[in-house]
Amino acid sequence: MAVSWRSWLANEGVKHLCLLIWVSLNVLLFWKTFLLYNQGPEYHYLHQMLGLGLCLSRASASVLNLNCSLILLPMCRTLLAYLRGSQKVPSRRTRRLLDKSRTFHITCGVTICIFSGVHVAAHLVNALNFSVNYREDFVELNAARYREEVGGLFPGLTGVCMVLVLFLMITASTYAIRVSNYDIFWYTHNLFFVFYMLLMLHVSGGLLKYQTNLDTHPPGCINLNGTHFQNTHLPEHLSDHFHESFPGGFSKPDELTQNTFVKICMEEPRFQANFPQTWLWISGPLCLYCAERLYRCIRSNKPVTIISVTSHPSDVMEIRMVKENFKARPGQYIILHCPSVSALENHPFTLTMCPTETKATFGVHLKIVGDWTERFRDLLLPPSSQDSEILPFIQSRNYPKLYIDGPFGSPFEESLNYEVSLCVAGGIGVTPFASILNTLLDDWKPYKLRRLYFIWVCRDIQSFHWFADLLCVLYNKFWQENRPDYVNIQLYLSQTDGIQKIIGEKYQALNSRLFIGRPRWKLLFDEIAKCNRGKTVGVFCCGPNSISKILHKLSNRNNSYGTRFEYNKESFS
């Protein structure tokens, strides 16, 4: 189908523009540094000794500088959440860029990996050349102290350690490991701090030096006292000229000016190590990230008070809690940490109910998959009472201590800022939209949203019970306010055994909106386009990748009603 250029530009354009800017920055840095070491007069002798290896290693080092500093920025989640919510980033287009922060982090990581490989290979060749091209003239320039020695021990050692740390981090960060054993990824990724410390030590070695006295000793000049610094690459006519003028006498001082072929050295070349530029590059982002972690640590120090724990069908548990000074916007998520369950693990959950001005309670719905959630449920709801809904009184006093970190932003916050939004949820992915619906229930007038299409696809009909009450109350509220088309609910049961076809006797509004089978997305998009001509519709999906891909493709397509679909996606792992 024809791709609508307007839709494509809105959906993908800014993202690709930023990528282009980043790539050009990298290319520019690489090229500039390469030329500096290839042709710069202060590196003339060093280049003579080391050749291409010098230029490649320094150029890749400058690219590594840039990427090591940029890679920390997308991980400052509190800062990003603040930017998302504040008026500092007014345009929705720029806010949507923040959705791609994880992808940018991964891109920088892959770049670091590749250029580290180039850097290491080039330095290996440098080490060889330091040893092979050893000359007594430039003892202080050479990293090796004598021929046949491999010089540069300290930077080399820190470099090897950094590569090993990087190796551990990268091998644990592949998609397969993240999906199957998230723990390995999380624990090894925290080694980044060791990496940065080693990086700071690595560049303080001062191995590669530049020449400081270029005016008194231009490179390639002739020393009248004996040793000459003429390199073997001087063209023929210059060496002839040298043989002619030298026996004749001394050359006059004005022959030292730049247009003469042969220059006379006034003194020996002096070398000095470069100031470690890397410290300037990485100190800013590293301090910012450390400050943010400290802030998050302090903020999450107080435990929350659990008000109620409810068990829902299909292995879902709802927890309602309060914490003072906790503010969150609908669509944000928090990270739960329960030391009684596991001292080291943290798990993110989307808020299903946000605190409002009148009510300070907030809540999460957790699906019980995996060992952490199972143990958590056993602590909160002892196995005997899991099937019944009545909790004995003594339970409320024995809740374990629970700490939360957050809230952090997510793309779903934008759904209230579009005039028309399409929200598609798959299974437990309904949680971000539940907080949106709760907010609309509270008060819908302050937001820009005027029409919400809510599609919820589940495999098991019992799952609809999680939010059936909320949906019915919301539906009734809008009916009473004479805005029946504000929320359009469609529920889909994708797999059916044919036995149970209604959600419950009291949910008549939902029963009549329940369809058996999978949604037909193309027809849905066509219908939304037709009913909202010329508007911009925000598409939000929280569910399996297959649905997400289809929606993305359909959002970029053309339609004859002039409606634009902007696709907003959250990337999980």
Partner 1 sequence: MGQIEWAMWANEQALASGLILITGGIVATAGQFTQWYLGAYSIAAGVLVCLLEYPRGKRTKGSTMERCGQKYLTRVVKLFGPLTRNYYIRAFLHLGLAVPAGFLLATILGTACLAIASGIYLLAAIRGEQWSPIEPKPKERPQIGGTIKQPPSNPPPRPPAEARKKPSEEAAGIPTGGPQENPMPVNDEVV
Asked if 125 touches partner 1 (CB under 8 A), the answer is yes
With both helix axes pointing from N to C terminus, report the angle between 52-70 and 101-132 in degrees, rounded to the nearest 10.
Answer: 150
Q: For residue 272, give every residue at least 6 positions away whose Cβ sits within 8 Å of its Cβ, in sequence order, or none.
A: 209, 210, 212
Asked if 175 touches partner 1 (CB under 8 A), the answer is yes
Instruction: Using CB atoms within 10 Å of the CB of residue 510, give its burial: 0 to 12 exposed, 13 to 18 middle, 19+ buried.
Output: buried
User: Contact with partner 1 (CB under 8 A): which of 17, 28, 139, 179?
Assistant: 179
CB 451 within 8 A of CB 484: no
Listed ranges 33-41, 124-132, 419-427, 429-437: which one lies at the site for partner 1 (CB under 8 A): 124-132
Report the residue number, 177 or 441, with the smaller CB distance to partner 1.
177
CB 293 within 8 A of CB 76: no
Q: What's the full length of the chain, in residues?
A: 573
Listed ranges 157-165, 350-358, 374-382, 427-435: which one lies at the site for partner 1 (CB under 8 A): 157-165
SS3 353: strand
Handedness of CA 495, 498, 499, 501 (dihedral sign): positive
Listed ranges 181-189, 311-319, 392-400, 560-568: which one lies at the site for partner 1 (CB under 8 A): 181-189
**Least distance to partner 1 from the beta carbon of 66, Å?**
23
Q: How many CB atoms lie within 10 A of CB 267?
A: 9
Report the residue number, 59 or 81, with the smaller CB distance to partner 1.
59
Report the residue number, 185 or 433, with the smaller CB distance to partner 1.
185
Report the residue number, 149 or 292, with the smaller CB distance to partner 1.
149
Listed ranges 84-92, 158-166, 411-419, 548-556: which one lies at the site for partner 1 (CB under 8 A): 158-166
Residues 395-454 that bind partner 1 (CB under 8 A): none
User: Contact with partner 1 (CB under 8 A): which of 28, 128, 224, 273?
Assistant: 128
Asked if 172 touches partner 1 (CB under 8 A), the answer is yes
| Token code pair at residue 316 | 């879902």
With both helix axes pointing from N to C terminus, report the angle between 192-202 and 153-171 in degrees, rounded to the nearest 10.
Answer: 160
Residues 498-504: contacts with CB under 8 Å, at least 24 apart: 500/461, 501/461, 503/461, 503/464, 503/465, 503/468, 504/465, 504/468
Apex 487 CA angle, 484 and 492, nearest 5: 120
**Least distance to partner 1 from the beta carbon of 172, Å?**
6
**Least distance to partner 1 from the beta carbon of 121, Å?**
5
| Token code pair at residue 432 | 């971000």
Q: How far is CA 28 from the centre of its chain?
A: 23
CB 79 within 8 A of CB 292: yes
**Least distance to partner 1 from the beta carbon of 132, Å?**
9
Report the residue number, 298 or 344, with the smaller CB distance to partner 1.
344
Instruction: Give the CA count within 13 Å in the CB-facing half-sphere of 519.
Output: 25
Report the residue number, 131 or 213, with the smaller CB distance to partner 1.
131
Question: E strands along 246-304, which residues?
Answer: 271-273
Instruction: Using CB atoms within 10 Å of the CB of residue 39, give its burial: 0 to 12 exposed, 13 to 18 middle, 19+ buried.
Output: exposed
* Separation of alpha carbons 430 and 286, rounded Å: 36
Alpha-carbon radius of gyration of the chain: 32
**Least distance to partner 1 from the beta carbon of 490, Å?**
30
Asked if 160 touches partner 1 (CB under 8 A), the answer is yes
Asked if 240 touches partner 1 (CB under 8 A), the answer is no
Listed ranges 123-131, 210-218, 443-451, 529-537: which one lies at the site for partner 1 (CB under 8 A): 123-131
> Virtual CA dihedral for 300, 306, 311, 312, nearest 10 degrees?
-60
| Token code pair at residue 443 | 């008060």
User: Contact with partner 1 (CB under 8 A): which of 174, 283, 495, 496?
Assistant: 174
**Least distance to partner 1 from the beta carbon of 517, Å?**
19
| 425: enclosing H helix or E strand | strand 420-426
Asked if 124 touches partner 1 (CB under 8 A), the answer is yes
| Token code pair at residue 64 | 């590594």
Report the residue number, 103 or 181, with the smaller CB distance to partner 1.
181
Listed ranges 56-64, 121-129, 298-306, 376-384: which one lies at the site for partner 1 (CB under 8 A): 121-129
User: Contact with partner 1 (CB under 8 A): which of 98, 184, 197, 264?
Assistant: 184
> Virtual CA dihedral for 285, 290, 294, 297, nearest 10 degrees?
100
Listed ranges 54-62, 164-172, 298-306, 412-420: which one lies at the site for partner 1 (CB under 8 A): 164-172
Of 70, 151, 145, the C-alpha closest to 110 is: 70
Site map (CB under 8 A) of partner 1, residues 60-99, x = contact = ----------------------------------------
**Least distance to partner 1 from the beta carbon of 548, Å?**
18
State the amino acid at position 255 in one-letter form.
E
User: Contact with partner 1 (CB under 8 A): which of 16, 103, 117, 502?
Assistant: 117
Kindly report the three-state secondary structure assignment for every residue of 421-455.
EEEEEEHHHHHHHHHHHHHHHHCCCCCCCCEEEEE
Residues 344-383 that bind partner 1 (CB under 8 A): 344, 371
CB 438 within 8 A of CB 475: no
SS3 176: helix
Asked if 150 touches partner 1 (CB under 8 A), the answer is yes
User: Contact with partner 1 (CB under 8 A): which of 86, 87, 91, 180?
Assistant: 180
User: Contact with partner 1 (CB under 8 A): which of 120, 256, 288, 441?
Assistant: 120
> Total residues contacting partner 1 (rule CB under 8 A)?
27
Contacts to partner 1 by CB under 8 A: 117, 120-121, 124-125, 127-128, 150, 160, 163-164, 167-168, 170-172, 174-177, 179-181, 183-184, 344, 371
